[in-house]
């Protein structure tokens, strides 16, 4: 009896070891998950994108940090995007995108539906325009002469695939061809990506409970993008030229096959002058995706809910966003702008300042604009 018991324990131990050795390694599980996710031609995914961490640049002796850029970054660093995307590539290519962007204390909705069948159609919801106008007006610092009646466009969609000119019709045909090829491209790129993962050091893949992780180094990312460029139309793309502006770049990917979810952390650290020019020393962007359903329910807008671009323009009076041509800044406000530019002209990015000045040209008188142009020379 004792011998039988010992034999049973030894047999059980050997069987356990055998099964363990035959099991998938974290690297294989990681590659399988990526392949399955990228091969999913029909599905509904939830996603979230947000800045996980950001360090502002202090600049260099030759390129000090730009105070204007730093101010803008400080305002947007808490921005995030939450949404759902539906894709159906079983026959034609259809998609539905429904998301909300949180920024500057507001939630801005964005909805787009596309069908790239025999007659490609692309629709964008107009609900976001009320928020866009509010932001534009607050930046302009004025009250519009004519307030748009947003009730006329609420719940409506603009047909942005309208092609009134021969040139735009040609552009849409080219876009349709590219989208039609994307099915085959997806298969090719998925195989390339999975083969690349399988060729990496298996020790760099770890597993904790149900989560499998790998951090792609800058070198690995550069090699991967080089392979993708070779396999695509962009054979002459200089991948190294893109990567040379970064002192470091990593992509940490956590996958959970049981939950059909993935979390990616992209960390970017620009080099020297690029660091100061962008205003960022380092930034980490977090992207979460989760396969909600292996089905998609994409419905194009009803005919009565679609308005033409001409109808949309009629509902949005000219000059509504920025308060019309008569809305000029006061003398006091002009002196403040002039003073800020004078104090920071040696440290700010001149090109960025000129672009900003050009975009706000209508807010200045002709004399004021010329004066600021001279100041930025």
The Cα-based distances of 185 to 39, 178, 191, 328 in angstroms read 11, 10, 10, 51
Identify which of 95, 133, 135 has the alpha carbon closest to the alpha carbon of residue 111.
Answer: 95
Q: What is the pLDDT of residues 203-235, one digit of tens each?
A: 999 999 999 999 999 999 999 998 888 887 666
- Amino acid 214: pLDDT: 97
Give the predicted TM-score (pTM) of the model: 0.71
Q: Is 345 helix (H, G, I), strand (E, B) or coil?
A: coil
- Amino acid 222: pLDDT: 92
The Cα-based distances of 27 to 23, 49, 204 in angstroms read 11, 26, 8
Q: What is the pLDDT of residues 127-137, one digit of tens each?
A: 888 777 776 66
- Amino acid 11: pLDDT: 40
Number of residues that this document lists for the chain: 377
Which residues in the chain land under pLDDT 50? 1-22, 275-276, 319-326
The Cα-based distances of 231 to 50, 189, 236, 349 in angstroms read 31, 8, 11, 38
Measured between its terminal Cα atoms, the distance across the chain in Å is 98
Q: Is 49 helix (H, G, I), strand (E, B) or coil?
A: strand
Identify which of 23, 56, 209, 182 has the alpha carbon closest to the alpha carbon of residue 116.
Answer: 182
- Which three-class secondary structure string do you get for 107-155? EEEEEEEEECCCCCEEEEECCCHHHHHHHHHHHHCCCCCCCCCHHHCCC
- Amino acid 92: pLDDT: 77
């Amino acid at each position: 009896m004792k011998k039988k018991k010992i034999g049973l324990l030894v047999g059980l131990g050997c069987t356990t070891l055998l099964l363990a050795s035959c099991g998938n390694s974290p690297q294989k599980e990681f590659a399988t998950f990526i392949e399955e996710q990228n091969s999913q031609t029909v599905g509904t995914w939830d996603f979230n994108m947000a800045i996980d961490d950001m360090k502002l640049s202090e600049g260099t002796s030759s390129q000090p940090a730009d105070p204007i850029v730093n101010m803008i970054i400080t305002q947007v660093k808490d921005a995030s995007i939450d949404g759902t995307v539906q894709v159906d590539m079983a026959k034609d290519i259809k998609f539905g995108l429904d998301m909300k962007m949180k920024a500057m204390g507001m939630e801005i909705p964005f909805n787009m539906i596309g069908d790239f069948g025999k007659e490609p159609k692309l629709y964008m919801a107009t609900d976001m325009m009320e928020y866009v106008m509010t932001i534009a007006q607050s930046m302009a610092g004025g009250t519009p002469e004519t307030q748009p009646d947003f009730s006329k466009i609420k719940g409506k969609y603009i047909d942005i695939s309208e092609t009134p000119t021969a040139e735009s019709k040609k552009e849409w045909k080219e876009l349709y061809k590219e989208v039609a090829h994307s099915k085959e491209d997806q298969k090719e790129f998925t195989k390339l990506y999975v083969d690349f993962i399988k060729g990496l050091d298996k020790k760099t893949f770890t597993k904790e409970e149900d989560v499998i992780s790998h951090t792609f180094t800058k070198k690995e990312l550069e090699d991967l993008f080089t392979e993708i460029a070779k396999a695509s139309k962009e054979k002459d793309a200089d991948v190294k030229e893109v990567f040379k502006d970064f002192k470091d770049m990593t992509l940490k990917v956590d996958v959970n096959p049981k939950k059909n979810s993935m979390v990616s952390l992209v960390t970017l650290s620009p080099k020297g002058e690029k660091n100061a020019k962008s205003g960022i020393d380092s930034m980490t962007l977090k992207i979460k995706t989760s396969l909600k359903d292996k089905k998609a329910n994409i419905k194009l807008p009803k005919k009565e809910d679609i308005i033409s671009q001409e109808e949309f323009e009629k509902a949005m009076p000219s000059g509504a966003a920025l308060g019309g041509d008569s809305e000029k800044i006061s003398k006091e406000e002009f002196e403040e702008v002039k003073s800020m530019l004078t104090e920071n002209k040696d440290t700010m990015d001149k090109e960025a300042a000129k672009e900003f000045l050009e975009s706000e040209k209508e807010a200045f008188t002709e004399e004021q604009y010329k004066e600021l142009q001279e100041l930025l020379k």
